[in-house]
Amino acid sequence: MGEEFHHGVVMREYDPNRDRERVEEVERICEVGPSGKLCIFTDLLGDPICRVRHSPSFLMLVAEIGDEIVGMIRGCIKTITCGKKLSRNTKHSNTSNTGNSNRHLPVYAKVAYILGLRVSPSHRRMGIGLKLVHRMEAWFRDNGAEYSYMATENDNLASVKLFTDKCGYTKFRTPSILVNPVFAHRLTLSPKVKIIHLTPSQAETIYRRRFATTEFFPRDIDAVLNNKLSIGTFLAVPDSATWQGTDHFLSDPPKSWAILSIWNSKELFTLQVRGASRVKRTLAKTTRVVDKALPFLRLPSFPDFFRPFGFHFMYGIGGEGPEAVKMVKSLCDFAHNVAKERDCGAVVTEVSGQEPLRFGIPHWKMLSCPEDLWCIKRLGEDYSDGSVGDWTKSPPGISIFVDPREV
């Protein structure tokens, strides 16, 4: 049974057997973008709860009036890094990509994430969205979450106003979403870079030792790397380097190196660009025809984004050394070729706006979002470690670790 409030709206937990088709219909009618702009629309594959079910703890709520679903919200809870503290025992401490963080240990917090808030256009301005957020936050608190955060487009004024003015959230981080098309031809990889496919165990060791103090790093990184949607983790080193295992790499790394992992978002949902004129569609098709007929020219053709397409998400991007940016570029080119083999239309990632390695990540500005907006709220007073204080007031770090389960 659900909880009823004014206007006869009932809030209850999502039931896939009775709600799936009605929820998908609300998703479709809510996907209305601004006039005259290229807009990306989401088409979920399988159960609508799939976008959170890979998290340790998750919930989806719906709002209904009679037999009609008029709104829904998804949420998940996990333990992530919210800061770092000095270690009293440097010998066994974790390290991160700062180069000198072997004296620091991560400070973890139980954090909740809100996504997929939708209210049917015909039932807006009735307080349904606000009620859904409050119900989800109550579930967060009941399950011990210390913070709640959400992501939205910086220019989505309605969403920003709801969370900041009515729900008590504050603007927290502004990462960049970078999107690169997958072309009709394979990209040529640098012969000066060797790419090593790591096992999940090897990848976990490197991530925990080098990136555990990075903001938003998931404590259950092993669950992410071993998930069926994780295609793999890849390490780029100079061609002259030899791979002798993670212990040797961590104790004596090459002068420059980089790492990233790939997540198969194509299995969860597809995207589609709408709002383009016939002229733009024709020009895009022409680039594909020329690229396919003359692949040796390696022209940057525009994929068919006007029909539903899948994508891969790159996460855990990091590295060190004077050639780290070039190493990241090689890994991104490799990820492009992997996506081409799997018939994806794009490769996507999200990084901090201050991330120095972003200069090695190829992307098209017309498809990317230079400023995504993350807002955060403190839910409780109890903290796993008192050395951080109020995380909502902390300054941004150089890097963030974006969990692919929340994309």
Check residue 155 and give its pLDDT: 83
- The sign of the torsion formed by the CA atoms of 127, 132, 135, 137 equals negative
18-22, 195-199, 257-261: least confidently modelled range: 18-22
What are the angstrom distances between the C-alpha of 315 and each of 99, 120, 311? 20, 33, 13
Segment 63-72, tens digit of pLDDT: 999 889 999 9
Q: Higher pLDDT residue, 304 or 352?
A: 352
Check residue 166 and give its pLDDT: 95
Check residue 45 and give its pLDDT: 60
Taking 90 as the threshold, does the pLDDT of residue 197 lie above it? yes
Q: In 3D, which of 252, 248, 245, 265 has the Cα closest to residue 203?
A: 245
Check residue 258 and give its pLDDT: 98
- The neighbour count for residue 246, using CB atoms within 10 Å, is 18
- In sequence order, what are the residues at sequence separation of 6 or more whose Cβ sits closer than 8 angstroms to the Cβ of residue 76? 52, 55, 56, 57, 58, 59, 112, 113, 405, 406
- 178-360 placed in CATH 3.40.630: yes
33: left (phi over 0), alpha (psi -120 to 50) or beta: beta
Taking 60 as the threshold, does the pLDDT of residue 264 lie above it? yes
Q: How many angstroms separate the CA atoms of 127 and 214, rounded?
A: 37
Q: In 3D, which of 316, 338, 315, 318 has the Cα closest to residue 328?
A: 318
Taking 70 as the threshold, does the pLDDT of residue 41 lie above it? no
Percent of the chain topping pLDDT 70 = 86
Give the residue-averaged pLDDT of 55-60. 90
Check residue 97 and give its pLDDT: 44
Segment 345-384, tens digit of pLDDT: 999 999 999 999 999 999 998 888 888 999 999 997 644 4
Segment 202-246, tens digit of pLDDT: 999 999 999 999 999 999 999 999 999 999 999 999 999 999 999
Q: Higher pLDDT residue, 304 or 6?
A: 304
Three-state secondary structure call for residue 22: helix
Q: Do domains 3-173+374-387 and 178-360 have the same CATH topology?
A: yes
E strands within 199-310? 230-238, 257-263, 269-274
Taking 60 as the threshold, does the pLDDT of residue 34 lie above it? no
| Options 3.30.2350.10, 3.90.79.10, 3.40.50.720, 3.40.630.30; CATH of 3-173+374-387 | 3.40.630.30
CB 24 within 8 A of CB 255: no
Taking 60 as the threshold, does the pLDDT of residue 330 lie above it? yes
Segment 133-185, tens digit of pLDDT: 999 999 999 999 999 999 998 888 989 999 999 999 999 999 999 999 998 88
Check residue 46 and give its pLDDT: 65
Taking 50 as the threshold, does the pLDDT of residue 36 lie above it? no
Percent of the chain topping pLDDT 90 = 62
52-56, 113-117, 206-210: least confidently modelled range: 52-56
Q: How many angstroms separate the CA atoms of 321 and 255, rounded?
A: 6
Q: What is the pTM of this model?
A: 0.88
- The two tokens of residue 94 are 């974790």
Check residue 167 and give its pLDDT: 96
Q: How many angstroms separate the CA atoms of 32 and 16, rounded?
A: 25
Check residue 7 and give its pLDDT: 67
The H-or-E segment that residue 316 falls in is strand 311-320
Q: Higher pLDDT residue, 107 or 46?
A: 107
Overall size of the chain counted in residues: 407
Check residue 8 and give its pLDDT: 83
Q: How many angstroms separate the CA atoms of 201 and 54, rounded?
A: 19
Check residue 295 and give its pLDDT: 73
CB 324 within 8 A of CB 357: yes
Q: C-alpha angle 145/404/51, rounded to 5°?
A: 75
Mean pLDDT of the chain: 87
List the domain boundaries for the chain.
Answer: 3-173+374-387, 178-360
250-254, 286-290, 326-330, 361-365: least confidently modelled range: 286-290
